[in-house]
Structure 1
Amino acid sequence: MKKWFLLAALAALAVLAYVAAGPYLTMHRIEKSIAEQDLDGLSAQIDFPAVRAGLKTQLQRKIEAETPELLKEIPLLNQAVTTLSSKVLEQAIDPLMAGQLLYIMQGNAPDLDFGLGELVQPVPSSTSTEKVFENAETDYIDNRTFVATVTHAESGTYRFTFTRTGLNWKLSGIELPMLATDAP
């Protein structure tokens, strides 16, 4: 009886250790996939719908924050700006996710042009050789949410959010410094 109890306790401890180490293992897998240019390995570590939704929200807030007050005061114009920005975001997010996510994760600003030109420029080749999560400050928010904060001297502070489903952790959000606003 004692042997079964000890085995069950050891198994439970092993599962807890695996779950606790999960975000660090995911960060390592992301860095390894980037270094090896393994897009399939990278996609297995990222919850693309969640990252896409988070980036869309950040872009929407940035556009709203930079909309002139005059347009905000006129309801019809404010609605037109909101509708137009929503359509622009729908066209910009997928190319951003497909073409520039790796570049952004290395601390580079995305090349977005919300004018009349192309929405997304070709991805510049990155000269960064440092790991994405090198010198990251990490913290568990709760038992299902983990945050890694990385500061780049040139471009600012990036916040990577990881969430757990079952025993697996995935990157589920990226907060970009160039999209930060003063609004809450």
Structure 2
Amino acid sequence: MNRIRTLAAATLLAIAATSAASPWWTLHRLQAAVARHDADAVAAQVDFPALRASVKEQAFAAMGGKAGEAAGGRDGANPFAAFGRKMAMAVVDPLVDAAVSPEGVATMVEHGRIGIGRPAPAADTSDTSDSAPARDKPRYALAYRGLNSFAVTARDGGSFIFRRDGLWTWKLAGIDLARGQ
């Protein structure tokens, strides 16, 4: 009986440990897929409808704040504000749909810059091959945001938001754009 309890406790401990470590494994798999230039493997780790909705929501919030300031804070104060937002949506929707793709996600992961429409920093080509590499591998900070969500934050302050998609699997389902984006 004691042996069964020990085995059960060890099994539960192993399940808990692997489940807790799964976000780091997910990030490693995503970075490996990007390094291999494997768009299918990148796409398999992303919930594109949720990611696009996240980006659009932030883009509209950013535009709404700017338009609201110009209109005195209310659409009613400026009859063109609602029209302007509809026009902005007509422009932003296709841009986000095009930018949030396996290639777009791979570019953000590869360069460590989380944002839409921002160019990656250019590599310095004046260095010779004997000197330091032109671009270091980006470093990320990983933190749980709850039992079913974790964030991978880049140096620029933006974060990838992953949501649980099973006991050990996660999908990229949103981003928090860096301040100033």
- Give the TM-score taking structure 1 as reference length: 0.76
Structure number with larger C-alpha Rg: 2
Shift of 1:178: 6.0
Cα gap change, 1:179/1:81 in structure 2, threshold over 3 Å: closer, same or farther? farther
Q: Deviations over 1:107-126 (max 9, x none)?
A: 275437xxxxxxxxxx8897
Match of 1:22 in 2: 22
Match of 2:46 in 1: 46
Give 1 or 2: higher strand fraction. 1
Identify which of 72, 94, 97 aligns with 1:94: 97
Identify which of 78, 84, 101 aligns with 2:81: 78
3-state SS, counterpart of residue 86 of structure 2: helix
Match of 1:150 in 2: 154
Paired residues in the alignment total 164
Give unpaired runs (5+ residues) of structure 2: 124-133
Q: Quick one: distance in 2 between partners of 1:20 and 1:102?
A: 25
Q: Quick check: 1:141 aligned with 2:142?
A: no
Q: Quick one: distance in 1 between partners of 2:10 and 2:152?
A: 29
Q: Quick one: distance in 2 between partners of 1:165 and 1:6?
A: 30
Cα gap change, 1:25/1:48 in structure 2, threshold over 3 Å: closer, same or farther? same
Root-mean-square deviation (Å): 2.6
3-state SS, counterpart of residue 88 of structure 1: helix
Give unpaired runs (5+ residues) of structure 1: 113-122
Q: Quick one: distance in 2 between partners of 1:111 and 1:3?
A: 58
State the identity %: 26
Q: Quick one: distance in 2 between partners of 1:111 and 1:144?
A: 29
Q: Quick one: distance in 1 between partners of 2:31 and 2:45?
A: 10
Q: Is the 8 A contact 2:56 2:92 kept in 1?
A: yes
Q: Quick check: 1:103 aligned with 2:107?
A: yes
Q: Deviations over 1:109-146 (max 9, x none)?
A: 5437xxxxxxxxxx8897574434x1x22222221121
- Give the TM-score taking structure 2 as reference length: 0.77
